[in-house]
Chain A
Amino acid sequence: MKRNSAAAQPIPFTTLGLKHPLWVRAGTTDEVCLREVFDLRTYEFAPAAMPRVIVDASANVGCTSVFFANRYPDAKIFAIEPETSNFQLLEQNTSPYKNVIPIHAALWSANCDLAVSDPGKGKWGGARDPLINKLARVKQFAG
């Protein structure tokens, strides 16, 4: 892997206002997600009514779910992630929040096996770095 060797290990980010630290692999796209969610406030919104059920697909390591869990403590949040190493971190990150339910799967319209891979764009591939081209078992969840 062409990266700072120390970077792939998850490190805790203590972000102000969060009840529990968020573990991300610094120097990978995890950190990008963290910045998108907490610096760029990508999912900030003011809905007509307070949300009670939120579905986060794909949740990656759980940044968005944790953001919503802090923002809407009374809502139930389903965090779906197909990729195994991401899912492990997702579970770790969301375990302190009782209102988040992590689910190891992907949203799809039919049962199938999927190779989650990077088609060459070099950026966000399905399997986020450092796990390019891993086969993930995916099952149906929609409908």
Chain B
Amino acid sequence: MVEEHNIPQIDLLKLDIEGAEKEVFEGGASWLERVETIVIELHDRFQPGCRAAFEAAIGDSFPHHAHRGENLWVSRQPFSLSSDSRVSGVDDCRHDAPHIPIIATMLCGNNESLIGEAIESIIDYVDKFLLIDTGITDGSLTIAQSLCGEKLWVEPFAWCNDFARARNCALELAATLGSVWALTIDTDERVEFDHVADRESLQQVLASNPDIRAWLVSSRDGSYAKERFIRVPTQLEWRGRTDEALCGATAEQRAVLPGAKFWEEPKTAEQFRKKLERDLAVLQEETQFKPENARWWYYLGQTLEQLGEPTQAIEAYRHCVELKTGWAEEAAWAAYCGGRCLVSLERFADAIDLCALGLARQPASPELAWQAGYSCYKLGRDRDAIAWEEMAVSIGEVDGSKAARHRISFRHLPAWYEGPYDVLRHAHKRLGDKERASECEEKYQTALKTRLRFASEGINSSNQTTTEELPIPAVRRSSLTRGEVKRVAILGLYSSGSTATAGILYHLGAQMGKRFWGNYYEPQWLSAQLRRWWDEPRIRETVALSERVKLLKRWMRDLSLDEPEVVAAKHPLLTLCGPDLIQAWGKETKFIWTHRPLDKSIASLARRGWWPEHFVRLQEKLWEAANSFFTNQEHLRIEFADVLKSPDEQVDRISDYLGMDVSEQRRQRAIASIMREGSASPLATESLERA
């Protein structure tokens, strides 16, 4: 061609030749001498070795490199991928076809009984519907066409028994189609948008946090959440041929999407068996080729168990437990499931062993202790049964440490509540201890009721670790949009009454965090951050403002997900973050300053003996920060001395200031909280001292 057209030099060569690069470049390409710049899409996926052949051919002659999308640019001369200012009409060369903010992607085979409802549940919220056709021969396509109309795009995909690959392909195509968000939906899934009115609001919610790469949608019962909206183009990747997981996102890049829920249409027995058989084949291969990956052993066990093969399931579960490399929680759960199979086969002694193995991996598992105790009881070893069940009780919810709340997933709630008492009452009875038996009987009934009450109120007890005996549900409002959550920060020195004030807010129903540090109403995650930011007790800035603002935003966002009326944060070190809070949470942020003279705060901290070398300087720095910040910032000032003198008045001042509509019951609880705070509060200590 070069000769035919008498071209001495090619300034730009664009190559997109679908895997033929290897043949073009292999064995040298002398014509490259005449080329200045090459833009090439290398298709190693189709034809391995393309990149190597290309790189070998260009050698060192093209020292300037750049990437954009799937294209590699190489040149002999320096260049940039920004737009060329020397050329006119740079920006009016824009294409005016409609933009596709949200595209739904669905993998679909023959699913005509399911697909219609799935599409209907989301079609109004998306701009395009990408159907990855894995071999449809029934009416699924017709249904999709009639429901999606113009929005439909069908892409044939040769099914290769690999969900991750198909999903990754869908993500790639969604990106190429120009969309910003890819919604993943399966034919048996339905999505419900309860607080998102339309497509535009959904776009706004999705765009509300630019850090998020994947939004999770929670299941209707709140027990788990799945990645359903993925920002494309993406570096994230689905992995696993079945039970696939989205990999590559950090904690900051994932969040639960407010206002949306999903659920799955129950499968028919026939559909379920088909799914299990398909999964089984894949999982058997995975465990054979990647025997060190605990995850696949767990899912293999689960599939075998559901297929009614407990003996084989036990072996798979046991592999998962014994692999020390895996996720401890998963291993413990595999032990529980394996134990369950053993119990069904009446192999009680083996069940006890497996449960003990599981407890070694994850001690916060009342399920395992409960199951071991039950197995002992079945073997007639009543005393052992009692020992195990006492252990279950001690890590359980009713009289125990509630340790299991700190686990992320996998749970069997009866073991947290009434299960252990159930075994205890029978074991004691059999040992002839009527008194203990009836005591446990009573405990059993109460625990059962407590659990059922939680279930009916829909409280996910795992999210509420509180200083109270029972979780307090956050105040829910009927219809809310983002920004209506009131944001409150309690600032003040150590020993200035901030804990008591935080206690008031907490009992008034404010959302204040998930896991508290001691009894101080200080959320653990935020406390750890603050300590790091300010190098407590030295108090010097170690983290830049922008980073602090980002993390404060994230904390607020996480706590606003349930749409409480008020979200409040309390920590003495927040006193150093006044301007950060305004920047992160907005000008509407409400501030409460718990005020106590500097000398008294210092003296009080001295009595506690914290940071003997630093506490004076620390309090002084907080004092300085508070005074300078509150000079120009509207706030509510709570005097330390007044809290004890007139708690009811302070409670009312706070609820008025925040405009909270508080029931008399909550008000009384808040007032009472001041008087009965544990030793944590200096107020309590000092009121004792005074007495």
Cβ-based interface call for B59 (8 A): no
Rounded to whole angstroms, the CA-CA distance of A48 and B77 in the bound complex is: 6
Residues of A within 8 A of B11 (CB): 47, 49, 51-54, 75
Q: Is the CB of B18 within 8 A of A55?
A: no
Residues of B within 8 A of A60 (CB): 16
Known: A16-B94, A44-B81, A70-B89. A122 touches B24 (CB 8 A): no
Given contacts A54-B14, A57-B15, A122-B157, contact A42 B68 (CB under 8 A): yes
Q: Which of B1-60 contact A (CB under 8 A)?
A: 1-2, 5, 7, 9-20, 23-27, 29-31, 36-37, 39, 45-46
The docked-state distance in angstroms from the alpha carbon of A42 to that of B19 is 19
B517 at the interface (CB under 8 A from A): no
A125 near B18 (CB under 8 angstroms)? yes
B691 partner residues in chain A, CB cutoff 8 A: none
Q: Give the docked Cα–Cα distance between A35 and B73 (Å).
A: 20
Chain A CB within 8 A of B78 CB: yes
Say yes or no: A78 contacts B96, CB within 8 Å. no
Tell yes or no: B153 within 8 A of A by CB. yes
B86-A53 in contact (CB<8A): no
Q: Tell me the complex Cα distance, A64–B39, Å.
A: 12
Q: Give a binary string over A97-117; 1 marks a CB under 8 Å from any B CB, 0 the rest.
A: 000010100111110001010
Residues of B within 8 A of A75 (CB): 11
Q: When the two chains form their complex, are residues A16 and B95 in contact, meaning their CB atoms are under 8 A apart?
A: yes
Q: Output the nearest chain A residue to B131 by Cβ-Cβ distance.
A: A2
Given A2-B154, A42-B68, A107-B24, check contact A15 B95 (CB 8 Å). yes
Contact present for A46 and B83 (CB under 8 Å): yes
Which residues of A sit under 8 angstroms from B79, Cβ to Cβ? 45-48
By a CB distance below 8 angstroms, the chain B residues around A67 are: 93
A1-33 residues with Cβ-Cβ distance < 8 A to B are 2-4, 13-18, 27, 31-32
Q: Is B566 an interface residue (CB 8 A)?
A: no
Q: In the complex the two chains form, is B92's CB within 8 Å of A123's CB?
A: no
Instruction: Give the number of chain A interface residues (Cβ < 8 Å).
Output: 67
Taking a contact as CB atoms under 8 Å apart, the answer to whether A56 and B24 are in contact is no
B277 interface residue per 8 A CB criterion: no
* Partner pick for B7 among A41, A53, A58, CB 8 A cutoff: A53
For the complex, would chain B's binding face be called helix, strand, loop or mixed by DSSP majority? loop
A2 contacts B133, CB within 8 Å?
yes
Contact of B176 among A3, A32, A41, A51 (CB under 8 A): A32
Q: Determine if A58 and B1 form an interchain contact, defined as CB atoms under 8 angstroms apart.
A: no
Query: Which residues of A lie under 8 Å from residue B141 when comparing CB positions?
Result: 2
Given contacts A42-B71, A121-B45, contact A15 B93 (CB under 8 A): yes
Instruction: List A contacts of B92 (CB < 8 A).
Output: 16-17
Q: What B residues does A70 contact at CB under 8 A? A: 89, 93
Pair B18/A64 contact, Cβ less than 8 Å: no
Say yes or no: B39 contacts A46, CB within 8 Å. no
Contact flag A55-B86 (CB < 8 Å), given A78-B5, A142-B29: no
Cβ–Cβ contact B24 & A109, under 8 A: yes
B80 in contact with A46 (CB, 8 Å): yes
Residue of A nearest to B97 (CB): A13
Is the beta-carbon distance between B152 and A4 smaller than 8 angstroms?
Answer: yes
Say if the beta carbon of B123 comes within 8 Å of chain A: no
User: Cβ of B95 and Cβ of A39 under 8 Å apart?
Assistant: yes
Are B86 and A50 touching (Cβ within 8 A)? Answer: yes
Interface string of B469-481 (1 = CB under 8 A from A): 0000000000000
User: A61 an interface residue at 8 Å Cβ cutoff?
Assistant: no
Answer whether residue B105 sits at the interface, using C-beta atoms and an 8 A cutoff.
no
- On chain A, the residues within 8 Å of B97 by CB distance are 13, 15, 31, 34-35, 39
Q: Given contacts A49-B77, A121-B45, A124-B18, list 8 more A-B pairs with CB under 8 A.
A: A2-B136, A2-B141, A36-B176, A40-B69, A120-B158, A121-B46, A121-B169, A123-B172
A-B contact pairs, 11 of them (CB 8 A): A2-B136, A13-B97, A15-B93, A16-B95, A44-B81, A51-B36, A55-B14, A57-B16, A101-B5, A106-B17, A142-B24
